[in-house]
A and B are shown apart, each in its own frame.
Chain A
Amino acid sequence: MLRFIARRILIAIPTIIIVSVLVFTLQQLLPGDPVLTMAGEERDPEVLAFLREKYRLNDPVPIQYFAWIGQVLQGNLGISLRTDIPVLTLILGKLPVTLELAIFAMIIALAIGIPTGIVSAVKKGTSVDYAANVVALSGLSIPNFWLGILLIMLVSVRWQLLPASGFVPPSEDLWLNIKTMIMPAFVLGTGLAASLMRHTRSAMLGVLRSDYIRTARAKGLISRVVIMKHALRNALIPIITLSTLLFGELLAGAVLTEQIFTIPGFGKLVVDAVFNRDYAVVQGVVLCTAVGFIIMNLLADILYVLVNPRLRHAQ
């Protein structure tokens, strides 16, 4: 098992290197010149030349890359070209917000997706199944920004139940923090719930047809035990992997949802940085989310083996 984990980590390293190269080179393709943005209206050639020298923008791209990655490896993601705040500080500031939103959204997604998936598999072909599928399909096809705006209009504007936007750190006011998080987490969660529901349903349908379910019933076990123990335990194996990957996506930040609810997470940070041609911040954020996603992938692989005895022993 340990050898398997070590091997998976080793495989992840080249992936991270490739990601860092991609992040860096794609950045070069972005239109616009950061120096022009920084130099302001006058565009004094001397200032431009000084800034180019200061940020080593005259060096060849590979040299720039190695200079950057060398700093990254020492934990220095550079300094925001616009605000002069270290990128790492910016990222660490946004991380708790994004993490909180991701966790909330994931809880909502799991709480809705898995039970409805089970019910619709067990009641396959009945009106319950069709209803669940229609709802799931709507969940998949309704864009987050539209649902978000609709919720703000109804819940905040008309019924005045929850604040429309803004973010309050939990350290300041926990209850208000939760109230501001409910709607964006719901918007993100329902989209994921739909795909979780579809996957749970198909995994359960496959498992319920299997011979060992018939064996469980032949032992006289009641339906609830057959479904919730024998079937679900097997169906959850792919679902755990899927959930981990979905969580990785959530960590990358939800650009539109964060914009609508003005939540200061990764999504908002990266959008602002792109608009301001703040290369250092874009690079830092994209690198962090990519690494986060790779780590979640790694976790998904390890969990898949842990919950699956056939693989656990094969390693």
Chain B
Amino acid sequence: MMNTSALPSMLDHTRRKSESDAAHPLLKVENLSVRFDGAPAGINVVDDVSFAVAKGRTLCIVGESGCGKSVTALALMGLLPTPPARIVGGRALFDGKDLLALPDRERADMRGNQTAMIFQEPMTSLNPVFTVGDQITEGILRHRKISKAAASERALEMLRRVRIPAPEKRMRAFPHELSGGMRQRVMIAMALANEPQLLIADEPTTALDVTIQAQIIALIHQLQKESGMAMILITHDLGVVAEVADEVVVMYAGRVVESGPVEDIFADPQHPYTIGLMGSVPSLGRRQGRLTTIPGTVPPAELMPRGCRFSPRCPFADQRCVSDPPPLIELSPGHRARCWYAPLELHREPIR
């Protein structure tokens, strides 16, 4: 059906494991909705988003720019710029506590401690006027009652763990003296310094050179294995998803359009948007014609259809898709798609 044959071969996860862990998620996001001030009524940038991630597992959120991935992550961290962004609904249960309902101070106590985040832009994410060592040490001292010397020692150890060469020297370096890849390693060291239970990585490699990208992903993946933390990785690189994800959430225009175990998403994608995404990935096999692209672009908020938000670009859409929002349908255990016609092969003939 599609051009994905090269990808599932990398998948080695077992379905059984994902089901048992999903029963006790570390973070359970339920119906999260975020609105921007000034957006048309009823159009949320993040709309009714739900997912869960268990200890030691990796959830990848995939989607094109502007689909609400980063806003979701920032909402979970309590870092949304308010105004204009406002959380208008939902819960985010972390160890049973609703993160979204916590008072500011308690939220800050958790940030950089139980939950940590690394960002897309390593070049601008470090404060230019403080040394790398000071910036890592500061985060440790914020959450741990230890001496300055001990915190500094811990920071140095973190620099070693993220494999920065000559870490003693780097402690005294200013951010501008480091390359992008090194800065992202510093960001990772900073995020993991307090051994968080959950790491949110928002496109951590997008701004880096291709050669560095794989190194950084491998580093994050390995550090996660060592620590057993849960991870939400936001990316639009399906190759990365295939490599590290246990679960995948596909977002389009603020909504989850498909979610499920990674092998299901790759082997049997059900939402036309997911299918389109897969078609946009070059495979290593024999070249078979042109890469598929999804025609059109995400509609602006004021033109967003009432029904399925993907309908203007969907080759299968009909009148119902435009007028009525489709429900998230469970197709197999854990695998859901938000499409009136899922599973597609039973309902629709491809229009080609």
Contact = CB atoms under 8 A, between A and B. Distances in A.
Interface string B111-150: 1110011010100111111100000001100110000000
A7 interface: no
A313 interface: yes
Interface residues of A, number: 22
Contacts of B77: 218
Contact of A310 (B83, B128, B139, B187): B128
Interface in A212-250: 212, 214-222, 230, 233-234, 237
A212 B126 CA distance: 5
A149 to B, nearest CB: 44
A221 B105 CA distance: 10
B19 interface: no
Interface string A63-100: 00000000000000000000000000000000000000
Q: Is the interface of B mostly helix, strand, loop or mixed?
A: mixed
A211 B128 contact: no
A168 B255 CA distance: 74
Interface in B304-327: none
Nearest to A210: B124
A226 to B, nearest CB: 10
B174 A214 contact: no
A234 B127 contact: yes
B110 interface: yes
A313 B79 CA distance: 33
B176 interface: yes
Contacts of A220: 108-113, 139, 142-143
A211 B124 contact: yes
**Most chain B Cβ neighbours within 10 Å, of A210, A214, A220, A233:** A220
B98 interface: no
B177 interface: yes
Category for how many chain B residues contact A: 20 to 34
Q: Is the interface of A mostly helix, strand, loop or mixed?
A: helix
A308 interface: yes
B250 interface: no
A309 interface: yes
B174 A218 contact: no
Given A212-B125, A215-B126, A309-B128, A222 B108 contact: yes
A315 to B, nearest CB: 13
A222 B112 CA distance: 12
A309 B174 contact: yes
B111 A212 contact: no
Given A220-B139, A220-B143, A221-B142, A214 B128 contact: no
B190 interface: yes
A215 B111 contact: no
Contacts of B129: 233-234, 237, 307-309
Contacts, number: 75
Given A215-B187, A310-B174, A310-B176, A221 B108 contact: yes
A215 B125 CA distance: 6
Contacts of A125: 83
Contacts of B130: 230, 233
A210 B128 CA distance: 11
A214 B125 contact: yes
A125 B79 CA distance: 19
B119 A215 contact: yes
A214 B333 CA distance: 38
Contacts of B111: 217-220
Nearest to A230: B127
Given A219-B111, A219-B112, A219-B142, A211 B177 contact: no
Given A212-B127, A308-B129, A217 B142 contact: no
B119 A222 contact: no
B124 A212 contact: yes
Contacts of B83: 125
Contacts of B116: 218
B107 to A, nearest CB: 9
A231 to B, nearest CB: 9
A81 B77 CA distance: 74
Nearest to B200: A218
Nearest to B128: A310
A218 B135 CA distance: 12
Nearest to B187: A215
A219 B128 contact: no
Interface string B154-178: 0000000000000000000010110
15 contacts: A212-B124, A212-B125, A214-B125, A215-B187, A216-B127, A217-B79, A220-B110, A220-B111, A220-B139, A220-B142, A220-B143, A230-B127, A234-B127, A309-B129, A313-B177
The 4 closest A-B pairs by CB, nearest first: A220-B112, A220-B111, A219-B139, A219-B112
Interface of A: 125, 210-212, 214-222, 230, 233-234, 237, 307-310, 313
Given A212-B125, A217-B108, 18 more contacts: A125-B83, A212-B124, A212-B127, A215-B127, A215-B187, A216-B127, A218-B111, A218-B116, A218-B117, A218-B119, A219-B139, A219-B190, A220-B142, A221-B139, A222-B108, A233-B129, A233-B130, A313-B177
